[in-house]
């Protein structure tokens, strides 16, 4: 799928959350929670040409609570996505969407 080969930096997550008065630090916190990457590693990923596939395949510790991420993103139920990589991408999309909509961080992190 084309999205697998898009660069992580191109996904424009920062623009989405900043338009809604959320911060890059909050976005990094969400990405760290989901993938285990540090803020420094996330910054390096954004400055590189690494693909979404690489970003998720190399994630240090994918959060086991990720299966609690449910709902609809881009017209698709996150929990019903069959392809493992696409599911991870949609889970991140959903978390970013929740952040942009003002959801509390503890709820985003399924606390």
Q: Domains plus CATH for the chain?
A: 2-102 (1.10.8.290)
Q: To which residue do tokens 């997550």 refer?
A: 13
Per-residue model confidence (pLDDT) at position 10: 62
Judged against a pLDDT cut of 90, whether residue 68 lies above it is answered with yes
Average of per-residue pLDDT values in the chain: 93
CA distance 91 to 104: 17
Give CA–CA dist 38/2, Å, rounded.
26
- Global pTM reads 0.92
pLDDT at 88 > cutoff 80: yes
Helix (H, G, I), strand (E, B) or coil at 87: helix
Task: Please report which helix (H) or strand (E) contains residue 77, including its range.
Answer: strand 76-77
Model confidence over 19-55: pLDDT tens digits? Answer: 999 999 999 999 999 999 999 999 888 888 899 999 9
């Amino acid at each position: 799928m084309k999205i697998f080969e898009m660069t992580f930096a191109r996904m424009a997550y920062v623009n989405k959350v900043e338009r809604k008065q959320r911060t890059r630090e909050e976005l990094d916190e969400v990405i760290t929670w989901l993938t285990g990457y540090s803020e420094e590693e996330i910054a390096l990923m954004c400055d590189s040409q690494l693909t979404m596939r690489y970003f998720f395949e190399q994630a240090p510790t994918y959060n086991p609570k990720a299966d609690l991420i449910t709902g609809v993103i881009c017209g698709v139920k996150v929990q019903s996505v069959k392809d493992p990589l696409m599911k991870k991408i949609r889970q991140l999309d959903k978390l970013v969407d929740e952040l942009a909509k003002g959801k509390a961080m503890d709820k985003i992190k399924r606390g």
